[in-house]
């Protein structure tokens, strides 16, 4: 028996467009049961390793996927971790980057691939992008080099490209090339061959046991700055009952208007122990607080830099940290660190 025949992949189906088929009578989209998967994709029979499936019931649109579902996915992986060489998660595209980011923090010391994928067209349609996405994701999840997993981290595979999950953002609602990773290089590209960019793949040093983290605190808000925003609007966000952290989406390299009332609100939030993380609204680049005068006052008000972290990753990292720590200063310090390649820090 060859090495590839010994490999196995667990396919976890949460829902999304990829799990839909077209009803021939009505033309409407309906979920299909995964015992029909091989009918839709006979190509899977050509793999010479085991593929098992687990299906959420009911299947979920990704807009319905949140912390409880992240825990369910993570627990499924944790319980089956020793039985499989890799995992593929079928997921709707809209919140896929949030789920991938969350899993990267929840699955500490991960040393096997967890590949999220989906499609823009249902797998039951003739022009679907789902078949190629799924087939390649399974192949990557099973791939090894010198006995070790080729890509031992949480990733998103979509339209010929493998991205680090916690660096990824959905960029297009229509094109098959739906995702981008603006501040981090692709981990692999799939054409005639799958080309791995080994130098940017995250590896854990030494043999460490997978550690599952379930504790998540959702007392977070996202505040996107815009010209003409009112004091009442900003105040209403910071007056949210139970609020513990805010992701501040600022202009450019981390800039914000220098309104006295805004500075007062931010300073008051810091005194209350609310952690405010500054991320840029730009697709590419990093927050550089202090570079311009319009960001110095944010530093003075206790706002911390998110550097080049995505909003999706900032939100899920804060949920993770708030679930584990009570002290705001500890959380601020932890946000300045890279746990699994989610941010570039000096």
Q: Which amino acids are annotated catalytic?
A: 17
Q: Give the HSE-up count for residue 37: Cα atoms under 13 Å, Cβ half-sphere.
A: 19
Q: Kindly state the tokens that stand for 307.
A: 């550097």
Peptide bond into 209 cis (omega under 30): no
The answer to whether residues 167 and 184 touch, using CB atoms and an 8 Å cutoff, is: yes
Cross-strand pairs, 251: 255
The answer to whether residues 71 and 100 touch, using CB atoms and an 8 Å cutoff, is: no
Give dist(CA 54, CA 6) in Å, integer.
20
Give dist(CA 154, CA 107) in Å, integer.
9
What's the burial of 346, exposed, middle or buried (CB within 10 Å: 0-12/13-18/19+)? exposed
Contact residues for 278 (Cβ-Cβ < 8 A; gap 6+):
248, 250, 254, 287, 289, 295, 298, 303, 304, 305, 306
Give dist(CA 58, CA 298) in Å, integer.
45
Q: Going by DSSP bridges, is the β-strand pair 50-55/169-170 parallel, antiparallel, or unpaired?
A: unpaired
The answer to whether residues 168 and 115 touch, using CB atoms and an 8 Å cutoff, is: no
> What region does 132 belong to: left with phi over 0, alpha with psi -120 to 50, or beta?
alpha
The answer to whether residues 180 and 282 touch, using CB atoms and an 8 Å cutoff, is: no
């Amino acid at each position: 028996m060859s090495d590839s025949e010994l490999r196995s992949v667990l396919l976890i189906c949460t829902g999304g467009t990829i799990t839909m088929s077209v009803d021939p009578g009505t033309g409407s989209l309906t979920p299909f049961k995964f015992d029909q998967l091989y009918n839709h994709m006979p190509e899977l029979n050509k793999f010479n390793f085991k593929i098992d499936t687990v299906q959420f019931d009911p299947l979920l649109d990704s807009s319905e996927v949140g912390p409880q579902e992240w825990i369910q996915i993570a627990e499924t992986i944790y319980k089956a971790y020793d039985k499989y060489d890799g995992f593929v998660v079928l997921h709707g595209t809209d919140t896929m980057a949030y789920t991938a980011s969350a899993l990267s923090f929840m699955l500490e010391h991960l040393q096997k691939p967890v590949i999220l994928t989906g499609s823009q067209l249902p797998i039951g349609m003739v022009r679907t992008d789902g078949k190629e996405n799924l087939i390649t994701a399974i192949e990557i999840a099973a791939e090894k080099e010198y006995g070790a997993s080729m890509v031992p981290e949480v990733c998103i595979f979509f339209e010929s490209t493998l991205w680090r999950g916690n660096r990824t953002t959905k960029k297009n609602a229509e094109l098959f090339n739906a995702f981008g990773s603006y501040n981090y290089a692709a981990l692999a590209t799939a054409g005639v061959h799958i080309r791995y960019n080994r130098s940017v793949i995250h590896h854990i040093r030494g043999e460490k046991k997978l550690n599952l983290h379930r504790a998540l605190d959702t007392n977070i808000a996202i505040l996107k700055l815009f010209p003409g925003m009112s004091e009442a609007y900003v105040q209403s966000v910071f007056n949210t009952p139970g609020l513990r952290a805010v992701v501040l989406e600022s202009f450019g390299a981390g800039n914000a208007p220098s309104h006295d009332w805004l500075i007062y609100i931010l300073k008051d939030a810091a005194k209350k122990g609310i952690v405010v993380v500054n991320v840029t609204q730009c697709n590419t680049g990093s927050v550089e607080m202090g570079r311009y005068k319009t960001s110095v006052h944010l530093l003075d008000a206790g706002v911390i830099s998110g550097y080049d972290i995505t909003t999706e990753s900032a939100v899920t990292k804060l949920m993770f940290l708030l679930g584990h720590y009570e002290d705001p200063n500890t959380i601020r310090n932890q946000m300045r660190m890279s746990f699994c390649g989610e941010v570039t820090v000096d």
